[in-house]
Structure 1
Amino acid sequence: MLCLCLLPLALLCGLLTGAASRAVADGTPTGDGSAVADEVTDRARVLALWSTGGPELRAAAEVALTGSDDDVHRFLSTANDVRLQDERVAVAQIASVGGLNLQEAARKALDGTQDDLEDFLYEDWRDPYFQDQRVRVAQVVDAGGPEVRKAGQAALDGTPEDVKAFLATGQYERRAQDERVEVAQIISAGG
């Protein structure tokens, strides 16, 4: 909560009362590639990184925005390393909720380049995750009764949304039907 309060203040102080306001007060023109324009651009770059970064990058950007110009330059020189670490953590977190296919894809991304990490985070996690969901459906079908098997097979033959719906609710509804039938059979057999 404190960061949410300090950040707007730091932005106002850094962007409005920084070098640009000093340049206006001194009569120095801005926007011509001068150090003043570069400094404003650097703070804007920090803000842009803050708005799109992960937790570590955001925390480091907040410190830079509330700090001196040297803090801003120091942050910009290390921002890529911090972003890389955030991306590695995000890939590991995604891998922790998946099955073997997703974990293997994440491992490949972690062993690769920063581009591999970014590709995994933006798109490459989807297919392995879907394959893991299909494996999970097959496991449920294998252990289920006739209604579960029928619904599971329909999900496997369908779309990724069908698979997701089966895993989220369909398997439980069908399992309840199978259990009701089994109870009725036990009662009718007198057991």
Structure 2
Amino acid sequence: MLLAAGCAPPSYLVLLEQDDGKTGSVIVTHAGRSARLDQAGAALALNATGPSPLTVDENQIRTDFAAAMQARPQSPQTFVLYFEGTTTTLTTASAARIADIRASVRSMPAPDVSIVGHTDRAGDDKANEALGLERAKVVRNLLADELSAAVEIAVTSHGERNPLVPTADGVLEPRNRRVEITVR
């Protein structure tokens, strides 16, 4: 994440660590000079002569960018639930994750939820497409109370397309029998 402040003096840019712990990079060019930020907390003063390295402590960054940091949307969360065989019955471990998904939906001010059903490659394409959709609908129904506040809900099936574990046609693979839920 890159933030720019107009505090006086100086105006500056600072690179922050992302929620996943990674840090990107940015090259700033102005007045014939270029500078690169590629570490969390690295900053550049922005002035008429071009960008120049700047040291800004963490407290100053928090002070200067408090409003911008508060306004950041929450990061999307993705959950994967698995199913028993060729059924619409969640595994015991996956059924236990429903409470976490409900909490995630409730934590978003205007939730947008995507629910995508998948199957392994046993059975024919058309039947797997239908089974994937039925699995997605089962999960949607388990989340019905929380989804009533959602701004958008997408319930779809990829059937046996987009396997988590690529296999030959007709192969049973438990990790492909899943529903992926993304909460934004």
TM exceeds 0.5?
A: no
Which protein is bigger by CA-based radius of gyration? 1
Q: Higher relative CO (CA 8 A, sep ≥ 6), structure 1 or 2?
A: 2
Give the alignment's TM-score, normalised by structure 2. Answer: 0.25
Name the structure where strand makes up a greater proportion of residues: 2
Name the structure where helix makes up a greater proportion of residues: 1
